[in-house]
Amino acid sequence: MAEEPKDNKWSRRSIIKGLAGVPFAGGILIAAASEVMGKQNERDKILNSLNIEAERPPATGSMSGDPLRVGIIGYGGRGSHLIRVLGFADNEWLAEMENNAVKNPKDTRLKDFMEQEDLNVKLTAVCDVFDVRAELALNSFNTPTNKIKRYRTHQELIDSGEVDAVVIATPDHWHAPISIYALNAGVHVYVEKPMTHNISETYALREAAKNSSAVFAVGHQHRQTQSFLTAQSVVKENVLGHVSLVQANTNRNDDNGAWQYHIHELASPKTIDWQQFLGNAPDEPFNKEHFFRWRKWWAYGSGLSGDLMTHDYDRINCVLNMGIPQAVTASGGIYTHRDGRNVPDVMQINMEFPDFSTGSSQVDGKEKGMTLVYSATLGNQFNRGTVLMGHDATMELGNRITIFADAQSTRYRDMLQSRQMNTETPIYQYDPAAEGVDGITSATSKYFADKGLLWTYRDGKRVDSTYLHLREWLSCIRNGGNPSCGIKEGFEEAITAHMGGLSYKLGRRIEWDREAEIIKPIDGIDFDEVLLQNTETYQSV
Amino acid sequence: MNSSKFFNEQLNAIVFMRFLIGWHFLYEGALKLFNPSWTAKGFILSSQGPFENLFTWMAAENVLPVIDFLNMAGLLAIGLGLILGYLERPAALFGVLLLSFYYLSHPPFSDLTQIGTEGNYWIVNKNLIEAAALVVIYKIPTAQYFGLKSLLKKSSPTKNLQSHG
């Protein structure tokens, strides 16, 4: 530049130096635009060929009209959550959440509760056999606008004429008796899972629900999860091809997860109506641990098969609608919590569906049949996802859906060969938090989503699926319609869980007779006696 | 090598660096401009370290769109400023600011999990180095020598630069 006349800024060289950045800037902008558009095109091509509809759950109806009078039976941990969702948070919870919100600004549970829609419900009755819990409800919910009364038994509560509907969150052995009593009285029922505790009451409850005008719903709230509805579309469009194996898992490694719940310091025969708690369970002297940690005993709970497998079974049943398995085999043991419990803490349940098919991309008749493997441990919390494995693709199913093409797929052979698809990049990804669906994502955004950081559920707002599930039940009561998890789904869930429990306790394969709708009898075995016997495995007497 | 030539080569090196950083900013901004579903939400919500609360606030429903816009517009403007050589000093300054936000939201401290990084970093990472390079660009402006500014200036670019010190 030394040779350049210094003051002539309009010389050719000066102009080049002045404007050199312009073509670069233009080129970079064009490159970015074509990068974005190109990826979008590739993505659109794949998405169009898959034709998956990112479903939104059907909108539930209006909550207008007279307030619905609800009673809560069983105001424990789960019961208080259900009631909170209906708009009633007790004083203890509010104080705890205020404290948490101050400590951690990311904890928005209190704010979320405050912003929740008014479901037009009055909480008029509570029944809990533990005085401390019943009084907490009375003290929290007896307000000028809401009068609540305590009842000693569920019969008194249901017969009081003060409730239109009940929410049942008792130990498992009370689910069916209370549900049946309420349905016979024409009172609407929302009951926690598992729907029943033994086989005969499963049939009795089905009869009661069929003969009652009341609305019956089982608390499998994940039926409201957007991703599961989208997964239904994935299966319908045969994106996965023939699914031969489904894996679902439970992995927990903490006291709470192993049902080692806190034993309240005020628990005593004076504060707990022990006989009322026992109900139809075998007689037992007062036992605080049995009362608070009832999930650890077959007498009141149903272990991994009833407590946690039911979640996974119903999730898959919601997506595949495969019904009751033709055969179930189960195994496991008490391996990590040898604390006097008699339900297993490691359990594998294989559910066989030899006639079921999700569809096929190959010649007719080549593929048929599926196994659902449920594998659970309460001694390790490594996250194993739910995986549906098809001939053409594999779907990871959670709050998000991720689908990978299979290298040997028939359906995607051409797209794989032309490198429009590859087996490492998801061919479809669905995240209810994102604006739309995304066929191709970076490792980083996958990480964020896996961490649950992008979770939102409805219109960009984090919504509790239990809230949506209860709202659906309320809407069916007010506006008609059938809950997504009603008696049919509940029956399938309960029978499958009991088959798992039976197989484990008997160490035998348990089969379902689809025509007769019964578990195939085994000579000399009374299935209910097996399930209810309060021992780790069945001891014939 | 005479001192003038040496000086010119130093300038050329800084112009080259200015170009590269401008390129990086402009491309990042343009990708966001052309992709309407882009949002910084995930990046912000995964923030760690002493300023986590500030960044969490940025992801709030009513704040996030502003943050997304400012980030995209900032990247574009800084990128253009550096590449074209116009308002390079404010561009460098705002670039340092933006990079500081990126740095502070995911600081490479040994007790924090590093996300989305392809190398290994402790205290010093690429954001910090790029910010330091922008400080050099701020301290030694070159737009009057090479860039739009040279066409808009009345007097000799090199003289002016030298007098800047």
Tens of pLDDT, residue by residue over B9-19, are 999 999 999 99
- Calpha distance A466→B27 (Å, rounded): 44
Q: What is the least distance, in Å, from the CA of B97 to any CA of chain A?
A: 22
Long-range contacts, stretch A131-136, CB < 8 angstroms, 24+ apart: A131/A266, A131/A271, A131/A272, A132/A264, A132/A266, A132/A267, A132/A271, A133/A75, A133/A76, A134/A75, A136/A75, A136/A90, A136/A91, A136/A92
Which of B31, B42, B116 is the closest to A443 by Cβ? B116
Nearest by CB: A32 against B27, B115, B148: B27
Residue in the structure block whose two tokens are 């008029």 = A124
Residue B39 · residue B163 · CB < 8 Å? no
In the predicted structure, residue A456 carries a pLDDT above the cut 50: no
Over the stretch A283-325, which tens digit does the pLDDT of each residue have?
999 999 999 999 999 999 999 999 999 999 999 999 999 999 9
| Residue indicated by tokens 């997964």 | A231
Q: Which residues of A touch B30 (CB under 8 A)?
A: 28-29, 31-33
Whether the bond between B90 and the residue before it is cis, its omega within 30 degrees of 0, is: no
Whether B85 sits inside 8 A of A21 (CB atoms) is yes
Mean pLDDT of A380-403: 91
Tell me what pLDDT residue B103 has.
95
Alpha helix locations (H) across A393-512?
Answer: 413-417, 443-450, 465-479, 487-506
- State how far the Cα of A352 lies from the Cα of A103, in Å rounded to an integer: 49
Nearest-Cα distance to chain A for B66, in Å, is 16
In terms of C-beta density within 10 A (0-12 exposed, 13-18 middle, 19 or more buried), how is residue A254 classed?
Answer: exposed
Of A15, A24, A28, the CB nearest to B151: A15
* Partner-chain contact A19 B148, CB within 8 Å: yes
Q: Is the pLDDT of residue B161 over 70?
A: no
Closest CB to B37 among A22, A33, A435:
A435
Structure tokens at A105: 């600004």
- Residue A368 gets the label, from left (phi > 0), alpha (psi -120 to 50) or beta, of beta
Q: Does residue A169 register a pLDDT over 80?
A: yes
DSSP annotation of A430 reads E
DSSP bridge pairs for A190? A167, A217
Q: What is the per-residue pLDDT for A448?
A: 38
| Listed ranges A46-50, A342-346, A444-448; the one with the highest mean pLDDT | A342-346
Which positions ≥6 away from A373 have C-beta within 8 Å? A245, A246, A247, A248, A348, A349, A350, A351
Which residue among B33, B42, B147 sits closest to A445, beta carbon to beta carbon? B42
- Taking an 8 Å cut-off on Cβ atoms, the answer to whether B145 and A17 are in contact is yes
Residue entry with tokens 């300023």: B51
Q: Which residues contact A390 (CB under 8 A, 6 or more apart)?
A: A239, A240, A241, A242, A243, A244, A358, A406
CB-nearest partner of A29 from B30, B45, B53: B30
DSSP states of A327-359 as a string?
EEEEEEE--S--SS--S-SEEEEEEEETT----
pLDDT of residue A425: 86
| Mean predicted confidence (pLDDT) in B132-146 | 95
- Structural contact between residues B92 and B106, judged by C-beta atoms closer than 8 angstroms: no
Q: Which of A368, A361, A355, A364 lies closest to A322, judged by CA?
A: A355
Q: Specify the higher pLDDT residue, A540 or A169.
A: A169
Note the pLDDT tens digit of each residue in A464-481: 778 889 999 999 999 999
DSSP H or E stretch at residue A428: strand A428-430
- pLDDT score for A449: 37
* A476 vs A221: CA distance, rounded Å: 15
Does residue B8 sit in helix, strand or coil? helix
Chain A hits for B83, CB-CB cut-off 8 Å, are: 21, 24-25, 28
Q: What is the pLDDT of residues A435-453, one digit of tens each?
A: 433 333 333 344 333 333 2
Residues of B in contact with A435 (CB under 8 A): 37
Per-residue confidence at A459, pLDDT binned at 50, 70, 90? Answer: low
- Rounded CA-CA distance A329/B146 in Å is 78
Tell me how close the Cα of B151 comes to any Cα of chain A, in angstroms: 6
Considering only alpha carbons, which residue of chain A is nearest residue B77?
A: A25
* The predicted structure's pLDDT at residue B1: 53
Structure confidence at residue A458 as a pLDDT band (50, 70, 90): low
> Residue A534 gets which letter from DSSP?
S
Distance in angstroms (rounded) separating the CA atoms of residues A80 and A103: 23
Q: Span A414-434, mean pLDDT?
A: 84
Cα nearest neighbour of A460 on chain B: B61
pLDDT at A109 over 70: yes
Inter-chain residue contact B19 with A445, CB threshold 8 Å: no
Tell me if A453 and B45 make a contact (CB, 8 A cut-off): yes
Distance from CA of A286 to the nearest CA of B (A): 49
Q: Are A179 and A188 in contact (CB under 8 A)?
A: no
Q: Is A355 exposed, middle or buried (0-12, 13-18, 19+ CB in 10 A)?
A: exposed
B42 vs A453: CB contact, 8 Å cut-off?
A: yes
Contact B27 A31 (CB under 8 A): yes
A488 in Cβ contact with A478 (< 8 Å): no
Instruction: Give the B-side interface with A, CB within 8 Å.
Output: 4-5, 8, 19, 22-23, 26-27, 30-31, 33-35, 37, 41-43, 45-46, 53, 56-57, 61, 79-80, 83-85, 115-116, 145-151, 153, 155-159
> Hey, are the CB atoms on A9 and B5 less than 8 Å from each other?
no
Per this entry, what is the length of chain B? Answer: 165
Residues B32-59, mean pLDDT to the nearest whole number: 86
Q: Which whole number is the average pLDDT over A510-535?
A: 97
| Nearest Cβ partner for A25 among B35, B42, B83 | B83
The per-residue pLDDT for range A252-283, each reduced to its tens digit, is 888 888 999 999 999 999 999 999 999 999 99
Helix A487-506 with A199-211: angle, nearest 10 deg: 170
Burial class (CB in 10 A: 0-12, 13-18, 19+), A248: buried
Q: Do B83 and A28 touch (CB under 8 A)?
A: yes
**Least Cα separation, residue A433 to chain B (angstroms):** 11
Rg (CA), chain A: 28
* Contact criterion met (CB below 8 Å) for B82 and B137: yes
Does position A226 have pLDDT exceeding 80, yes or no? no
In whole angstroms, what is the distance from residue A222 CA to residue A216 CA?
17
What integer pLDDT is reported at residue A286 of this predicted model?
98
| A84/A144 Cα distance (integer angstroms) | 18
Prediction ipTM score: 0.89
A349-368: average pLDDT: 96
Side by side, the strands of the sheet bearing A327-333 are A428-430, A401-405, A393-397, A386-390, A243-251, A370-377, A346-353, A327-333, A510-513, A518-519
Q: Calculate how close chain B gets to A452, using CA atoms only, in Å.
A: 10
Contact A18 B147 (CB under 8 A): yes
* Predicted local distance difference test score (pLDDT) of residue A432: 66
Are B150 and A25 inside 8 Å of each other by CB?
Answer: no
The reported pLDDT for the residue numbered A55 is: 64
Q: Residue A84: what pLDDT?
A: 94
B158: which chain A residues are within 8 Å (Cβ-Cβ)? Answer: 1, 6
Q: Is a pLDDT exceeding 60 seen at residue A1?
A: no
B contacts of A8 (beta carbons < 8 Å): none
A499: tokens are 């088959």
Determine, for residues B147 and A21 on separate chains, whether the beta-carbon distance falls below 8 Å: yes
Per DSSP, the three-state class of A386 is strand
Task: Give the residue from A1, A10, A39 with the most B CB atoms within 10 Å of its CB, the best one to mutate.
Answer: A1
Judge residue B55's burial from the number of C-beta atoms within 10 Å of its C-beta, 0-12 exposed, 13-18 middle, 19 or more buried: buried
A494, pLDDT greater than 70: yes
**What pLDDT, on the 0 to 100 scale, is given for residue A248?**
93
pLDDT at A51: 82
What's the mean pLDDT when you consider all of chain A? 90
- Residue A215 contacts residue A483 (beta carbons within 8 Å): yes
Q: Of all residues in chain A, what percent carry a pLDDT higher than 70?
A: 91
pLDDT, tens digit (0-9, with 9 covering 90-100), for A116-137? 889 999 999 999 999 999 999 9
Average pLDDT of the residues of chain B:
87
The amino acid that residue A293 corresponds to is R
Higher-confidence position of A72 and A60: A72
- For residue B111, the model assigns a pLDDT of 85
Rg (CA), chain B: 18
Q: CA-to-CA distance for A495 and B124, rounded, in angstroms?
A: 60
CB contacts of A453 in chain B (<8 Å) are 42, 45-46
